[in-house]
Structure formats: C-alpha cells, structure tokens
C-alpha cells in the first residue's frame, strides 16, 4: 500500500511538471500564472526524491522490477545525481533478473568507490551478477576479492563455494566448503552445497553421508535427497533401434539392461541382453547376433574409476554355421584435478555389416583420450587410438576437438573437430578400410529444457558438418545430425526418442545411414 501511494504521488508530481514546461514554450506567462524558478526547482527536487522513495518502497516490497523503472526515471530527471543512486539501481537490476545490465553499473561503482562499504557491495553484486548469468569462473574472482576484504562474511563464503561448483571445480569447492564448515559446523545450507558438489563429482557415497543429519524438508536438501535416491536405486533400460543404410542393409536391435548399485552408488553391476538382426532390403541375406554382457563400475577414489563390460557374442548367419566370439570393453578414468581428465580404454568387438560378420572379423582397439576444461565455457579433447584386426590389418588414428559455449539457456556449443587415421592395407572385408582418411568438421550442439531445468522435457541436437578426404576415393562432403527428445513420465521414468542421419557420400560413392531409437528407462 505504501508503494502504491508513492507511485501515485510520483505520477501526479511528474504530470504537474511536464505540462508547465510545455506551456512555457508556447507563451510568456505572467508571474502570477507560473511559480518562480526557485519554486520550480524545489518542486522538481521534491518530485525526484519522491520517485527515489517510491523505488525504495518497491524494493522493500520485493517489487524489484518496478523499483528499477522508478530509479531509471529518477536518474533521467536528475542525471547529476546518477552516481548517488547507482549502487541501489544496480542492486534492483540484479534482483529483477537483469544481471547483464547490472554488471557495467557495478563495475563503474567499483572503479571509483566512495567508501569501503560501497566497494564491498559492488564486489558482491558483480559476483552474483556473473554467477546468475552462468559465468561462475568470473564470479569467483569477485567473491575471492571480497573475502580478502571481509573474510568472516558467511554468505560470501557460500557464494564462493557455489561459484567453484558451478564452474566444474568440484574438488576445489569441496575443499573450500569443508574448511568453512570446520569453523561453522552449524551452517546447514553450506552442508547441502557440500553434498551437491560431492554428488556432481561422482561421489554419491560421500554425499549421502554428508546429508545424514540434515532434514529432507530443508530448502535444497529435499531435491538432492531425491536425486541421490534415484542414483542409488536399481535401474532398468529397454532400448529399440532401427536403421537403414545406403548399402541396402536394414538393422534392427532390441536391448534390455538392468543395473544394481552398491555402496551408495560407489559401484554398480549390471546385465545386458541384446539381439540384433542385419538383413538386406531384398531379403536375400540376413544375420542374427545375440550378445549377453555383464558390466561393472567402481569408483576407486576421487581420482580414479574403472568400468568394464564383457560377454560372448553369438553370430548366426542364414545358411551358415554359427560363430561365437568373446567381446569386451573396459576403460580406466583418471582425474588428476578438476581441469584434466584421462581415459585409457581397451576393447574387442565385431562389426555392423554382413560381410565382416560372415567372415568373423573382429578388432582389438586401444585408446587414450585427454579432456581439458579450463572453464565452464571451453572444452578440448585429444585422442589417439590403435586397432589390430583379426584378418591381419591394422589402423592408427587420432582426433582433436575444441568447443566453446556461446549460450547457456538454451545451452549452445560451437566447435571444430579433426579426425585422421590410416590402415596398413586394403582387404575388402566389409568394414570401412581406406588407406588413409582425414576429415575436418564444424560442430554445433544444443540442449534445452523448455519448462526449466527441473521440468519434464529435455531436448538436444548435435550437428557435425564438413568434408573428408579418402584415399583412394577422394573428397566427399560429410554430415552427422542427431535430434533427441526426452520426457519424464514421472520422477522415476524417462522416455527418449532419438533420430540420426549420417552421410558421407556423393551421388555415386560413399555411405549414409538413417536411424530411429526409442529408449525407456526406469529406476526402482
């Protein structure tokens, strides 16, 4: 009510001032028709002060957007007093979800602060503005600077932990929050933040322990409790996929998998059953492949995790004897810190074409992958791999990729990828086997939650487009497009549809594939 009264008063005062100004341009009034210059200035000052008081009243009533409009109007009417109101105006922009507009105003104040309190206020405002515009790495600098000025500020200690965690620096966030909680063990909000950072680092087992003494009714804790329960619960996935290829082969597969977690999701074991059929469009040939697989995962420490899958593949070609082969895939992940990740992998697998399957060709592959993430907006990857084929062939290759995030809502990444490999020989045994290959592609991927990060919808797209050079076939355009739409039927059930189209061909040469995949996943 107070805010409404100020608003009406401000509007009335403004309405009085502007008609008088307009009249003065039309005729020369007598002294009895208009107030003196001194009286006019007094009236204008009163009007501006009323606007500022109305803006402050709106702020106290949590009407931050209305407050920004009133501050802007006051500054427009009295620009000589702009610096006086600038800190308050920046605060209201921040609290009305206009953080981008607030940043240059806070910076202006910080460049020439009039007091120590104003400097601290600007540092805190800049930190929150960068944090709320998904630039936590930049927010970190201002929170750290503020803590040097005011080391006992508990709110800023929590904000720094949040900035570290949101920028992917989970180990740093955990170290910071643990040190803070040793001095302030009663701070339940910081303890929830610590558990969230532990969960994001992949240590759900630590997160569960951290939340033991915190009520699930506490803000933030309820959501994290639910997320941890789903991470620990058994999980079942049913997946159906169908694809058609330019070599006139259709592929249909059905996969059922079930995983059990142990030690509060520190490890997991699972069983997957997959049945795949390869068939020519004219039905002249077909092969069925069944593949039962046992899988396991275990987090050895904060820095190491091991994953493995092993099974026996049964290949049943039409009109030919059944063949069997052991297949596996395993990889060791090492995080020496929050910025670098190494993956060392080894696998043995068959191929997805009729000729290679009939010949029983398999490949033993080894690879080393390195990821470098200097900030939440940059990602770099380098990979080297080698493969030895059961028909005596061998391949050596590498890949480099760089990405930059241009937008965060929706999330949009733009990048470039270069791939290169070479074979020892050409064998004509069904699999893609040029003497040499190199391709450079531009990449674009996006992720969008139309109804918010906690909503039911999750939409994503991936595009890679460029050209490749193959010896002996020459240059060809290449593209790979996939679209994914996922919907949460309820908190435990997720339905996902994925479409993909890959092409690496001219009118007469090359290969293309179209695929449709439907996945239903549920935690129990």
**Antiparallel, parallel or unpaired: β 436-448 and 340-349:** unpaired
pLDDT of amino acid 216: 67
Running DSSP on this structure, what letter comes out for residue 193?
H
Rounded to whole angstroms, the Cα distance separating 206 from 195 reads 7
Give Cα separations from 367 to 118, 303, 347 (angstroms).
Answer: 54, 19, 9
CB count in 10 Å sphere of residue 319? 7
Please tell me the pTM assigned to this model. 0.86
Backbone angles phi, psi at 321, to 5 degrees: -70, 150
- Residue 371's nearest CA partner among 414, 403, 410 is 403
- Cα 500-404-458 angle, rounded to 5 deg: 45
pLDDT of amino acid 24: 30
Residue-by-residue pLDDT tens, the chain, 524 positions:
444 444 443 443 333 333 323 333 333 333 333 344 444 555 556 688 999 999 999 999 999 999 999 999 999 999 999 999 999 999 999 999 999 999 999 999 999 999 999 999 999 999 999 999 999 999 999 999 999 999 999 999 999 999 999 999 999 999 999 999 999 999 999 999 999 999 999 999 999 999 988 876 776 888 899 999 999 999 999 999 999 999 999 999 999 999 999 999 999 999 999 999 999 999 999 999 999 999 999 999 999 999 999 999 999 999 999 999 999 999 999 999 999 999 999 999 999 999 999 999 999 999 999 999 999 999 999 999 999 999 999 999 999 999 999 998 899 999 999 999 999 999 999 999 999 999 999 999 999 999 998 899 999 999 999 999 999 888 999 999 999 999 999 999 999 999 999 999 877 788 999 999 999 999 99
Give Cα 379 to chain centroid, integer Å: 12
Give Cα separations from 472 to 118, 357, 425, 440 (angstroms).
Answer: 69, 25, 12, 18
Say if CB 98 and CB 68 are below 8 A apart: yes
Say if CB 441 and CB 464 are below 8 A apart: yes
Rounded to whole angstroms, the Cα distance separating 388 from 361 reads 11
Q: SS3 for 116-160, per residue?
A: HHHHHHHHHHHHHHHHHCCCHHHHHHHHHHHHHHCCCCHHHHHHH
Structure tokens given for 492: 């435990």
Rounded to whole angstroms, the Cα distance separating 40 from 147 reads 47
- Residue 4's nearest CA partner among 75, 92, 45, 63 is 63
Backbone angles phi, psi at 70, to 5 degrees: -70, -40
- Residue 419's nearest CA partner among 382, 448, 471, 445 is 382
List the domains of the chain with CATH numbers: 48-231 (1.25.40.10), 234-523 (2.40.160.40)
Rounded to whole angstroms, the Cα distance separating 389 from 319 reads 25
Query: Residue 161: left if φ>0, alpha if ψ -120 to 50, beta else—which one?
Result: alpha
Structure tokens given for 176: 């910071």
Structure tokens given for 424: 């020892």
Round to the nearest angstrom and report the end-to-end CA distance of the chain. Answer: 51
> What are the residues facing 293 on neighbouring strands?
272, 311
Say if CB 283 and CB 276 are below 8 A apart: no
Rounded to whole angstroms, the Cα distance separating 499 from 486 reads 12
Rounded to whole angstroms, the Cα distance separating 435 from 470 reads 8
């Amino acid at each position: 009510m107070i805010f409404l009264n100020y608003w009406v008063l401000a509007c009335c005062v403004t309405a009085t001032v502007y008609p008088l100004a307009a009249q003065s341009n039309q005729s020369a009034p007598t002294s009895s028709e208009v107030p003196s210059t001194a009286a006019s200035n007094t009236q204008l000052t009163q009007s501006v002060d009323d606007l500022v008081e109305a803006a402050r009243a709106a702020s106290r009533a949590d009407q931050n957007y209305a407050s920004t409009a009133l501050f802007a109007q006051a500054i427009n009417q009295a620009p000589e007093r702009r610096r006086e109101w600038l800190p308050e105006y920046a605060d209201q922009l921040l609290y009305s979800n206009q953080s981008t507009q607030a940043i240059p105003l806070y910076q202006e104040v910080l460049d020439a602060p009039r007091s120590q309190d104003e400097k601290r206020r600007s540092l805190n405002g800049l930190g929150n503005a960068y944090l709320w515009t998904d630039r936590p790495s930049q927010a970190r600098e201002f929170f750290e600077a503020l803590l040097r000025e005011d080391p006992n500020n508990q709110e800023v200690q929590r904000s720094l932990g949040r900035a570290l965690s949101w920028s992917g620096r989970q180990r740093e966030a955990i170290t910071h929050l643990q040190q803070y909680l040793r001095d302030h063990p009663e701070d339940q909000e910081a303890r929830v933040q610590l558990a969230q950072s532990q969960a994001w680092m992949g240590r759900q087992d630590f997160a569960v322990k951290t939340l033991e003494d915190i009520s699930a009714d506490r803000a933030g804790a309820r959501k994290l409790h639910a997320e941890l329960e789903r991470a620990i619960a058994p999980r079942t996935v049913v997946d159906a996929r169908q694809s058609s290829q330019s070599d006139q082969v259709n592929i249909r597969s059905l996969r059922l998998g079930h995983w059990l977690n142990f030690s509060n999701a520190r490890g997991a074991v699972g069983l997957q059953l997959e049945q795949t059929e390869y068939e020519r469009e004219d039905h002249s040939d077909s092969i069925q492949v069944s593949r039962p697989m046992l899988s396991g995962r275990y987090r050895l420490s904060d820095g190491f995790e091991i994953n493995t899958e092993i099974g026996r593949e049964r290949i049943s070609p039409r009109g030919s004897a059944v063949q069997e082969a052991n297949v596996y895939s395993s990889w060791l992940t090492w995080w020496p810190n929050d910025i670098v990740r190494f993956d060392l992998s080894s696998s043995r697998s068959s191929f997805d074409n009729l000729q290679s399957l009939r010949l029983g060709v398999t490949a033993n592959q080894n690879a080393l992958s390195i990821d470098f993430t200097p900030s939440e907006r940059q990602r770099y990857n380098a990979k080297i791999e080698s493969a030895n084929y059961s028909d005596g062939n061998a391949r050596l290759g590498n890949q480099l990729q760089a990405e930059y995030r241009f937008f965060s809502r929706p999330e949009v990444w733009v990048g470039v990828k270069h791939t290169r490999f070479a074979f020892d020989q050409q064998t004509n045994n069904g699999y893609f086997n040029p003497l040499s290959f190199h391709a450079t592609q531009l990449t674009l991927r996006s992720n969008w939650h139309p109804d918010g990060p906690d909503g039911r919808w999750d939409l994503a797209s991936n595009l890679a487009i460029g050209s490749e050079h193959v010896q002996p076939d020459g240059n060809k355009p290449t593209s790979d497009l996939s679209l994914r739409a996922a919907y949460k039927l309820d908190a435990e059930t997720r339905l996902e549809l994925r479409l993909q189209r890959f092409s690496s061909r001219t009118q007469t040469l090359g290969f293309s594939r179209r695929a449709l995949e439907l996945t239903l996943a549920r935690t129990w």
